[in-house]
Amino acid sequence: MAKVRARGRPPAGRDAAGEPLKTSTDYIQLTARVSPSKKALLKDLASVQRTTQTEILERALDLYAESLSAAERKALQALSAANPDSKRR
């Protein structure tokens, strides 16, 4: 059976930090229900920042985690350490 090729041109090159560009297969898919206004906000933020919606969400989650109290951050770290799938930056 012939190998099925993905549509479109694959990304090439490196990002500003010199790291290889990530492809959609490098990420786990996330599905979330949000209001239309929040989805529009996410799209607009990505457009203004000239980045992906994924990057906006990652930054938002990082900032949210950093804003937790010391006790909550400690609990989060314990959960992350116990979960082998957790790969926090």
What's the total number of domains in the chain?
1
SS3 of the chain: the string is CCCCCCCCCCCCCECCCCCECCCHHHCCCCCCCCCHHHHHHHHHHHHHHCCCHHHHHHHHHHHHHHCCCHHHHHHHHHHHHHCCCCCCC
Residue range of the domain that includes 66? 34-82
> In DSSP terms, which residues pair with 20 in a beta bridge?
14
Domain-embedded: residue 71: yes
Residue 20: which pLDDT band, with cuts at 50, 70 and 90? confident
Query: What letter represents residue 13's amino acid?
Result: G
| 33 pLDDT tier (thresholds 50, 70, 90) | very high
What pLDDT shows up at residue 57?
94
User: What was the pLDDT predicted at 28?
Assistant: 81
In a domain, 73, yes or no: yes
Q: Would you say residue 5 lies in a domain?
A: no
Q: What is the pLDDT of residues 36-86, one digit of tens each?
A: 999 999 999 999 999 999 999 999 999 999 999 999 999 999 998 988 777
Domain-located, residue 13: no
14, part of any domain: no
Q: Is the dihedral of CA 63, 17, 32, 50 positive or negative?
A: positive
